[in-house]
Structure 1
């Protein structure tokens, strides 16, 4: 009888541990997604600042115009 109770306790503990692990995995994935989102936004911001410092001749050399920069880098960070 003692083994039956111990097995039930062990199973309930393992089930609770699995649920906690899943919850931690969800938070870790959400955190990682938010981090990547923020990192992508920061990289776009730095690229836009770098392109904004170029003069018209330099932009022409790489095939861009001021309008291209405004269109591509003025979007909100969530797009």
Structure 2
């Protein structure tokens, strides 16, 4: 390593908040609360006849509600709601 090399820093401006999911650009990228997502997850689980895992539920949220959301966040919300 050269003496002039420095570790790049991550500022608050470049990193989005972890607790937000967004609706796609059609709705101007509006943030969606965790409570709203939990409600949608409950509806998806109640409406479906077959068992769904967090990955399939993530796909359903992306498709049905045009969310930009990570499967790890869906998993965390399912654990919090004990679904």
TM-score by length of 2: 0.27
Which structure is higher in strand share? 2
Decide which structure has the larger Cα Rg and report it. 1
Tell which has more relative contact order, 1 or 2 (C-alpha 8 A, sep 6+): 2
Which structure is higher in helix share? 1
TM-score by length of 1: 0.28
